[in-house]
Every structure is written in structure tokens, then in C-alpha cells.
Structure 1
Amino acid sequence: MSYVVLPDALSSWPCPRQVSPYYKEVKAELDAWVHSTKILDEKAQKAFDKCDFALLASLCYPRLDREQLRVAGGLIMLFFVFDEYTDKVDSEGVEKYVNMVVDALEHPGVALPEGLPCDLREFTRQFWLRAVSVAPLASQNRFKKTFIEYIKAVTFEAQDRHDNNIRSIDNYLQLRRLTAGGFPALFPLDLAVDISDEVMQHPSLSALNGLFAESLVLLNDVYSYNIEQASGHHAHNLVTVVMHELNIPIQDALEWIRCYHVECLKRFVTLKDTLPSWGSAVDQNVQRYVEGIAQEIRGVDTWCFESQRYFGTNGRQVQHTRVVALLPKVGADVATPMMVSEVVATAQQVVD
């Protein structure tokens, strides 16, 4: 059996693990909501529950108030429901779902006719109605822009999947920064501050946002690779891209990604420590926002091991040892991004 050692680019990251005090009560509300919509079939819902997306929100945004955390958790659930729907279709199918989501964001007052089952548009609409009740207008507009960029970029991922296309490292990262959802994932932090577009668009702050989006790609692709290679969905993953372009084995590719990630985090710290001043009141909000980004990076990394999404019930052990056995191929029909726990269970049966 083949093994790999997962890199730990965050070994010196200054932010310790934190979890929101509202985790349990918000989790109960979010779980009740998503179950009530019946937006997922029984199998997908079972795998979805094992991921514990309320925990992800609570680890990434531990300083939000209760209602803000509820919105953050709803956003994360929307991300993964959208992934579940679009991962099964070609680029034309993705465009159909993109149009549904855009329509919900632009016209949240138009509800689904009574008696019809909840669809992706209605699920998005319900999330957005709650979000706009607590989000400043500038934050709303920034979110809609970045979220629409994200869902539209997924059409290119679908086309790559259809063509079995492996991009170059630079081209892949350019697209993946969008398809990973890093920019709209900053929206919950934007809820808790009042920062103008002028400040948010400053090159330094824009660069920090971009480095977060980059870090999210690097974390996600490293931890998801084993599941994706087992299910045959690994062409759109940085580990595969690096192996392919540099013609190196997997462990060397993981080390390349670790070094790249460490440099990204160094640039983040340098920018964070050299931000300009916009006046004491604005600076305080900017500091809270940037510290929130740093905590979100830690939260994503922590959740990957504390949920069952990537490593089943072995996450804490993997977090400690960093050693992972490469799973045997179980077939593309077994796995979608929402069903990774099913892949772990199926492949583990083969191993046993």
C-alpha cells in the first residue's frame, strides 16, 4: 500500500484553534433548515451531515455574533449544495444552475410557488433573505459580485472535467482561486465591520483577500486529493497539476505545494503588518477584518481534520501523524464532492 505525508504549511501560523460559543445552537438551526428543504437526496444528506458545516463556520468565524454565524453557516451550506448539483453536470448544466442562483440573489422577494419542492434557486433565496437582514449594503454588493464570479467560474471547471483537461500550474491557480470560493467566503467577516469600497479595494487589502483565496486552494486541494484520486475526480486538483507539469511524484508535488503555501503566508504577514492608515476608526475595523482572515485560514485547516469530509473518522490521527494511505480506486460513480465520506468508507472496506 502507498502512503504520503501531508505537508503542514501552517505549523508556525500564529492563530490558535478557536470555536464559536454559538456552535451547538446554530448547528441545530442549520441542520433543521437544510433537512426541511429536502434539497438533497437521502444519500447525499447523510454524507452532508457528516461534514458538519456548522463546525466549519464556527471554526472560521469564531468572533461573529449569533445571527452573523447563522448566515455564515448558511453560506457554507450553499457552497456545498451548489457543488453537489454542479459536479454532476456538464458546462451547460452548470449555466442553468448559475442562472437560478443569480436570479435568487437579484430577486429574493420572489418565492417558490407553494407546493413545489425546494430547488437551488429557493435554497439560495432563503439564505440570501437572512443575509441581507444583517449585512451592510456595501457588503451585500461585494458578496453578490464575488459569488457570481465564483459560480460562473465553475462552468470552466465542468468543461475541464468533461474534456479531462489538466491545466498548467499558472492557469489552474488562476481559475481555482475563483472556483474554490475564497472571495465570497470572506463575506461573513464583512458582516461584522463597516468598510467602504474605497478601503476594501486598496491594493494591500485586495492582495490580502487574494492570498486568502490562494491559501484556501492549497489547503483544499492537498486534503481532498486522496478522495478525488480514489473516485477519479483528480484532474482538477493542484497535486495532479503539479505532478503533471513538473513530472514529479506525489510526495515531491506535496512538498512543492508546501513551499509555495509557506511563501503565500509570509507575504500575508508582511502585508498585514504594513497596511496604511485610514484613521483610527477605520483602522480598527480593518484590523478586525484582517485578523478574521488569518483566523479563517486556521479554521479551514482545523475543520479538515475534525470533520469526516476528507479522512472519515481518522481525522484526528491524520492531523497528528500527517500520514495518509492512498485509497484504492473505487470508481467515479461512487463519489461526488458531497459524498466523500462514502468514498472513505468504501475504500476502507477494500483496504480491510
Structure 2
Amino acid sequence: MYSCNTQELWYPFRPENSPHASAVHRGSLDWIKKFDLNNRSGSRGAARPIEFGLLAARAYPRAERERLQIAADWLSWLFLMDDECDETGIGNDPELLMRIHERLLAVLRGASPAAADHRLVRSLHDLATRMIECESPAWLSRFAGAVEEYFAASRWEARNRQHGVIPSVSDYQAMRMHSGAVFACFELIQLTDRITLPAEVRQHAGVQRLMLLANSVICWCNDIFSVNKESGHRDVHNLVIVLQHERRLSNDEAVREAVAVHDQAVRAFVEQAAALEGSGPEADAELSRYVDCLRCWMRANLDWSSTALRYRQARAVSAGMLASPAAPT
């Protein structure tokens, strides 16, 4: 078991929550039941807690009820897709994953589902239909592109599992920015909060770096909380595990190093946000709202992970890791 009771994850961001949290949580439970998404073989699947609507409520706290429900159902789909791969062995077969991903992307981009399609395909079609009612085809194309990058990173992980490869720290850090599907979740900010950044602002180097840093913070936090879950599956795709392997660290040393990497990303985000919001033509109201949404996502991920039943078996890792108001030394 990995544990780290003396370190603190640094988060200078205030927690928020949607007034629609309870309703959206119930809505996602109904949506999951409608498409039978929590139906798995084996005891692990039968015991799985469903709390993803509560994460969405923290991550998109100012979203309207209907749009927040789309985000909550997307997060439910995303986590349950990940569990499907983990628990059925699909995540070890890159060729099978490729066929599944091609079908999912086709449906996300407008193809109609067939009667024989898997429940993940039919539920994703439902999401795509609701998304396009709220947003433009251009937005859906960007969202699908981010999902495609997530799928490609999932196949990279599958190839590693197939061949028994433990990736280097640098390779893992690069691919982790896509394997967590965080960029797709950031694309949802336009839908949930009605923030439309002009292309030149969205593609600005400072804005891109800010998104990358926020993504890093979320992924490293997730890895710290979930390391025992991944270790139990004999999955090496976790920052703690690759640091431990490459640098020959003990369990506790590896967790402490991952915490340091995480906190450095938080510091860099704070500095980059201050520079971006404080000067230049890009410093406008819409960009400030967008940056605040990134802060919400990072803090939401911490608060939800701290209490989620999903990571209860990994609580030894997260014990004592509370948000601190002071910067780490």
C-alpha cells in the first residue's frame, strides 16, 4: 500500500458547488440506469458507487440545470467507460480498443447507433444529441477531437500493458495530458458556462499553457488518490508508480515526489493566470471567467476525490492531504 500522511496538496482555490447538485446527481443515476451502464460482471462492478454528478456540480457550479446535467452524464459515461476497460480486459487489447473507438467517434460525429451497438455507443449518441442542441457543430467537432486524443492515449496504455512496458516519467507525463480526457472536460466549459473564447485567444500560447497546467494539476491529484486502485489492478499508468520505478524510490518517497510535482504545477498555474489576467489584449472578462472555471475544476477534483467512495480503498494515500492556504516551501 502507498501512504503519505505528512504531505499536503496545495490548493489556493475556493471550493464551490452548484445549487442543482442533488437534482443532477439523481438525474445521472436515472440516465445510467436507462442505458444499463453500471451493469458489469464480477463483484467489483456490482459494488461500484456512482457519484459523478456530484463531481460535475463542483466542477461547473454556475451552469444551468439542463447543461449541468449534460456535463454530469458525460462524466458518468467517461468513468464507466474507463471501468469497462479495466474490468473486462478491453484495456489490454489495443486492436479491440481501436474498433470500439472508431465506432464511438463515428456516433459522436453524427452516425446513428444500430440496434446491436453496445450500451456505451447508444448512451454516447444520446449525449451527442443533447450537446448539439446546446452548441454549434464547430464546438462538437472540437469536443470530438479532444475525445479522439483521449482514445489514442488509451490505446497507448493498452499497448504498454500488452507488452509489459513501464513508460518513462517524461513519456507518461506527456500522454497523461490526454489519457485523463481532461481537455474534453475543459471543452465543456463553453457549453456549461456559455463562454466562447475567440480562436485567437483560445490558441494564445499563455492560454494553452494555462490549460496544460490545470490539466496537470487534475491528473497528478487523481494519480495520488488512485494509486492503490491502479496498483491493485497491476496497472503502471500512474505518476507515483512511474516515478518509483524510474528513480528507485520507496512507496512513500514516490508519493512525496508526486505531491511535489503536483504542487509545482499549482504554483505555475497561479503565476501564469496572474500574468495572463493582468495585462495584454487577452485579459478580458470572458477569459477571466474561463480561468475561474479552470480553478473550479482543479478544486472540484480535489474535494470530490477526498470523499468519493470510488477511492475509499486508496484512502491510505489521501489521508492527511487537505487543502492548505499557504504555499509549500
Q: Is the 8 A contact 1:101 1:121 kept in 2?
A: yes
Residues 243-269 of structure 1: per-residue CA shift (max 9 Å, x gap) = 111111121111211222221111111
Using the size of structure 1 for normalisation, the TM-score is: 0.82
Cα distance in structure 2, aligned partners of 1:3 and 1:150: 29
Find the counterpart in structure 1 of residue 187 from structure 2: 187
Residue 91 of structure 1 is aligned with which of 71, 91, 94? 94
Inter-CA distance 141–198: structure 2 relative to 1 (3 Å threshold): farther
Cα distance in structure 2, aligned partners of 1:152 and 1:318: 29
Cα distance in structure 2, aligned partners of 1:7 and 1:51: 29
Residue 103 of structure 2 is aligned with which of 92, 100, 118? 100
Residues 14-73 of structure 1: per-residue CA shift (max 9 Å, x gap) = 22222111111111221111111113425566444x140001111111111112211111
Cα distance in structure 2, aligned partners of 1:177 and 1:27: 27
Cα distance in structure 2, aligned partners of 1:322 and 1:98: 36
Matched, 1:73 2:72: yes
Find the counterpart in structure 1 of residue 223 from structure 2: 221
Residues 190-242 of structure 1: per-residue CA shift (max 9 Å, x gap) = 22201122210110111111111211221111111112223322x11111110
Q: Is the 8 A contact 1:37 1:118 kept in 2?
A: no
Shift of the alpha carbon at 1:187? 2.1
Secondary structure at 1:5 match in 2: coil
Q: What amino acid maps onto 1:273 in structure 2?
A: A
Alignment of 1:1-352 (within 5 A): 3-5=3-5, 7-10=7-10, 13-42=11-40, 46-48=46-48, 50-87=49-86, 88-89=89-90, 90-108=93-111, 110-113=112-115, 116=116, 118-191=118-191, 192=193, 193-233=195-235, 235-275=236-276, 276-278=279-281, 283-311=284-312, 321-322=320-321
Shift of the alpha carbon at 1:169? 0.6
Q: What amino acid maps onto 2:249 in structure 1?
A: I
Using the size of structure 2 for normalisation, the TM-score is: 0.87
Bigger RCO (CA 8 Å, 6+ sep): 2
Inter-CA distance 106–117: structure 2 relative to 1 (3 Å threshold): closer
Inter-CA distance 16–101: structure 2 relative to 1 (3 Å threshold): same
Cα distance in structure 2, aligned partners of 1:214 and 1:246: 20
Secondary structure at 1:232 match in 2: coil
Secondary structure at 1:321 match in 2: coil
Residues 297-323 of structure 1: per-residue CA shift (max 9 Å, x gap) = 0100111122101115x96x9866349
Cα distance in structure 1, aligned partners of 2:47 and 2:130: 25
State the superposition RMSD in angstroms: 2.4
Find the counterpart in structure 1 of residue 326 from structure 2: none
Q: Is the 8 A contact 2:15 2:299 kept in 1?
A: yes
Shift of the alpha carbon at 1:106? 1.4
Inter-CA distance 141–225: structure 2 relative to 1 (3 Å threshold): same
Which moves more between the two structures, 220-229 or 202-211? 220-229
Q: What amino acid maps onto 2:196 in structure 1?
A: D
Inter-CA distance 2–226: structure 2 relative to 1 (3 Å threshold): closer
Inter-CA distance 252–196: structure 2 relative to 1 (3 Å threshold): same
Residue segments in structure 2 that go unaligned for 5+ positions in a row: 323-329
Shift of the alpha carbon at 1:132? 1.6
Q: What amino acid maps onto 2:25 in structure 1?
A: K
Cα distance in structure 2, aligned partners of 1:318 and 1:153: 25
Residue segments in structure 1 that go unaligned for 5+ positions in a row: 324-352
Cα distance in structure 1, aligned partners of 2:321 and 2:37: 35
Residues 55-114 of structure 1: per-residue CA shift (max 9 Å, x gap) = 111111111111221111111112112212333221111111111111111125x2433x
Cα distance in structure 2, aligned partners of 1:6 and 1:154: 33
Find the counterpart in structure 2 of residue 332 from structure 1: none
Cα distance in structure 2, aligned partners of 1:288 and 1:105: 28
Secondary structure at 1:225 match in 2: helix
Inter-CA distance 6–148: structure 2 relative to 1 (3 Å threshold): farther
Inter-CA distance 177–24: structure 2 relative to 1 (3 Å threshold): same
Cα distance in structure 1, aligned partners of 2:205 and 2:177: 17
Number of residue equivalences: 312
